Amino acid sequence: MSNTSYNPYLTAQAQFDKVAEQLGLDEATRELLRQPMREYHFTIPVRMDDGTVRVFKGYRIQHNDARGPAKGGIRFHPDETADTVRALSMWMTWKCAVVDIPLGGGKGGIVCDPRILSEREQEQLCRGYVRQLARNIGPNNDVPAPDVMSSAKHMLWMLDEYETIHGGRYPGTITGKPVGQGGSLGRTEATGFGVIYVLREALKRLGIKPENTSASIQGFGNVAQYAARMYSQLGGKIIAISCWDNTDKKPYTFRKADGVDVDELVSITDAFGSINKEKAKELGYELLDGEAWIEQDVDILIPAALENQITSENVHKISKQVKIIAEAANGPTSTEADKVISDRGIFLIPDFLANAGGVTCSYFEQVQNNMNYYWDKDEVLSKLDRIMTAAFNSVYDLSVGRDLRMRDAAYTIAIERVVRAVKSRGWA
């Protein structure tokens, strides 16, 4: 989205086509899986605080639901496009399949900038979104969740609108709800922690001790903050973190050569993941340009912001020291950059494996909603760790066994599982 000429849907399709070819999938199956099954495009009129009506554009796209109800977040972003949502819905199908949870893939988006909307306007937008979709989402067909710039607060407004329309309590309609209102403990941490559970396993397999490593992270929102916390707990040292600055309308990198203090940085970060520049300078952080995160001499890079951030233009800036890239964001690496990374022998943990912790915990949330019985945080996180570790090990073993790159091994496992479901239902 940061680069208007980039189309993530084409990247998602190219990744699928490559593995479909390797697996020798028939034409009908390819045709079915290389595009979404269903799409909803609609307008959402909102009466703004100044009395005028503004019309927003909304999307909900269901890529595939052969393995279970479609599942995926709703993003709020001024540059959201149908193709971004299509790509993300497709990645959700592979994500749920690679961790083997009984869900399909979907995604939603609203073209908006919540940073400049009042609370009331945001609530109206959330309710308006659900009014357009109330018959097409639900616990048994498509289950939304938060994503970029959307949060538990938004999810509860959406659920409330859905329940008002349908006249009942259906907590499993939306996940990522606040704890105490049907939300699961551990959901806020799940994606970021999950990234580090698989990174920990990768380090084990590569014979590297986490306490001997350093990292640079792009983004400092929900995913990055918890990834940073868990990585620090393992003993790793974070040298640099970048984020978007909405005043200057550009990203900056915050660097501390002897390691950043994650809690300190969180305390000067707003709800949208932007670090306060002035306060950071006072605390001794060097302020570098937004791209600087990628060229640090570190062992691990964690892109955790948006798609298409490692491209043919900046991939050559990656330091020789980098051994692992853990893709916490969805689709952070362009196809061209991916090839360079592979040729350089950098171990890459692909997005839909690395960041599957969020949807896995969302699945736990639904399970708890269905039972109306809630687990404690340790139980949630230990279940999450088991699933992420098992998924990583299957992908790693396949990649070694068949001499595949990690991304292709993850795709192979995910696509084979989805194809089995599609074929056994007689869809292809």
Residues that bind ligand NAD (CB under 6 A): 2, 147-149, 191, 218-224, 242-244, 251, 272-274, 290, 304-306, 328-330, 355, 358
3 state DSSP class of 308: coil
d(CA 388, CA 395): 11
Ranked by CB distance to ligand NAD, the top (closest) residue is: 221
Rounded to a whole number of angstroms, the minimum distance from the CB of residue 102 to ligand NAD is 18
Q: Which C-beta is closer to ligand NAD: that of 29 or that of 355?
A: 355
d(CA 132, CA 9): 24
Rounded to a whole number of angstroms, the minimum distance from the CB of residue 387 to ligand NAD is 15
Rounded to a whole number of angstroms, the minimum distance from the CB of residue 281 to ligand NAD is 17
- Side-chain half-sphere CA neighbours of 387 within 13 A: 30
For residue 329, the 8-state DSSP code is: S
Q: What is the number of other CB atoms lying within 10 angstroms of the CB of residue 269?
A: 20
Rounded to a whole number of angstroms, the minimum distance from the CB of residue 48 to ligand NAD is 23
For residue 289, the 8-state DSSP code is: E
> What secondary structure does DSSP assign to 35-97, as a single string?
S-SEEEEEEEEEE-TTS-EEEEEEEEEEEE-TTSSEEEEEEEETT--HHHHHHHHHHHHHHHH
> What secondary structure does DSSP assign to 146-199, as a single string?
E-TT--HHHHHHHHHHHHHHHTS--GGGS-SPPBTTTBPTTHHHHHHHHHHHHH
Exposed / middle / buried, residue 291 (Cβ in 10 Å: 0-12, 13-18, 19+): middle
Q: Which C-beta is closer to ligand NAD: that of 260 or that of 306?
A: 306
Rounded to a whole number of angstroms, the minimum distance from the CB of residue 155 to ligand NAD is 12
Q: Which C-beta is closer to ligand NAD: that of 311 or that of 412?
A: 311
CA angle 106/108/113 to nearest 5° reads 155
249 is catalytic: no
d(CA 329, CA 220): 11
Q: Pick the catalytic residue: 107, 177, 237, 256?
A: 107
Rounded to a whole number of angstroms, the minimum distance from the CB of residue 191 to ligand NAD is 4
Q: Which C-beta is closer to ligand NAD: that of 243 or that of 414?
A: 243
Q: Which C-beta is closer to ligand NAD: that of 247 or that of 372?
A: 247
Q: Which C-beta is closer to ligand NAD: that of 274 or that of 334?
A: 274
Active site residue ranges: 107
